[in-house]
Structures are given as structure tokens and as C-alpha cells.
Amino acid sequence: MGKKRFDEKENISGFQQLKTSVQKGIRSKILEQYPYIENCINDVLPKKEPFRLMKCHEHIEVLVGANGDFLFFRHREGFWVPTLRLLHKYPYILPWQQVDKGAIRFVLSGANIMCPGLTSPGARMTPCPKGAIVAIMAEGKQHALAVGITSMSTADIQSVNKGIGVENYHYLNDGLWILKPMK
């Protein structure tokens, strides 16, 4: 996925009702990418309910559930990434990387997560390869504050301990978070 983040400037260019076959394909791709979602996939993407694709500028697409909730987004043909709202309902679908208290305000301003913020006291990592979609948790906080993709494996984050550990894709109060559900 590119370095593109979602923000208010992404104008929505339209909606597309997806064919059943396309929905099945997306559903199986999401199951394959996030094995832990299997327990709740029927709540998230019920087989019998149609979901739509919201097309935005900058090649961003958002999956919109039957009830208007934003479920996943992607840039170009990249991975489907769960939105924070979905993650708050089903926190177990992604591996967690926890930053220390000091990193919180940077993450919430859209900054990438630096290695030291993941290796200091107060931080905690779940083993992950490079390129994994992860939930960014914070010391002392209950809910994820961002979703990102690992720039290196957690083993490398630990040993290198400098530079970007996780690229921040979507964070609390960004453009995607503040968009109202699309009924």
C-alpha cells in the first residue's frame, strides 16, 4: 500500500453496489488476511446483506456495511485494512503493538511509530513480520488509537531500535474517523 493516508480532503466520488461474486471474493480475501476475524465475520460482513464500496479520490476505497458503517479501507489494490471503529468492536482481529505514553500525542497527530516508542518501558510488541497490518495500542488506554503496517519485523524493531517501526495509516480523529456513517 502506498504512503497515502485518509483525510478530510479525500472527496468521495461515489458508491458502488457490489455483485455477490465480488462480495464473496472480498470476504474470502479478508478472512485469508485476518484469520482471527473468522469468529465475527458473519457479524461484520453478513453473507445475506449487501455491502457497498465508497470510492474516494487518491485511489482510496472504503467498504461500507449494510448499516452504513465503514468497515475496511484500502489504497489502490492494496490490503483491506480494518477501520478503527471496527477494531474497537472486535479488538482481537489484529495483532497489537503497544506504544509508551510519550508516543500517544504523536500517533494521534498522524506520525509514524518510531522503534524507540515500541521498545521502551511501557511499550509492548506482538511478534509480527514486516508488512503486517497491526493495531496501535497505547500504555494505559483501552482502545486502539491507530492502525498501521510494520516497516520491519518486530525482531528488527527490537534489534535496530531506530527509524520507523510502524507506518501510521489511520488514527483517531483523522478524516476517516470523523466521517459520518453513510446510510
What is the tens place of the pLDDT at every residue in 81-137? 999 999 999 999 999 999 999 999 999 999 999 999 999 999 999 999 999 999 999
Percent with pLDDT over 70 in the chain:
94
Helical spans, DSSP H, in 34-174 = 41-44, 84-89, 104-107, 115-119, 154-160
Q: Where are the domains of the chain?
A: 12-88, 96-171
pLDDT computed for residue 13 by the predictor: 82
pLDDT above 80 (res 56): yes
Alpha carbon distance 42, 40 (integer Å): 5
Per-residue b or e along 92-123, where b marks 16 or more CB atoms closer than 10 Å to that residue's CB = ebbbbbbbbeebbebbbeeebbbbbbbbeeeb
Residue 8's pLDDT band (boundaries 50, 70, 90)?
very low
Which residue has cell 527490537?
158
- 96-171 folds as Sulfate adenylyltransferase (3.10.400)
pLDDT above 90 (res 3): no
pLDDT computed for residue 171 by the predictor: 96
Do the domains at 12-88 and 96-171 have one common CATH topology? yes
The model's pTM: 0.90
pLDDT computed for residue 1 by the predictor: 40
What is the tens place of the pLDDT at every residue in 139-173? 999 999 999 999 999 999 999 999 999 999 999 99
Class of CATH domain 12-88: alpha beta
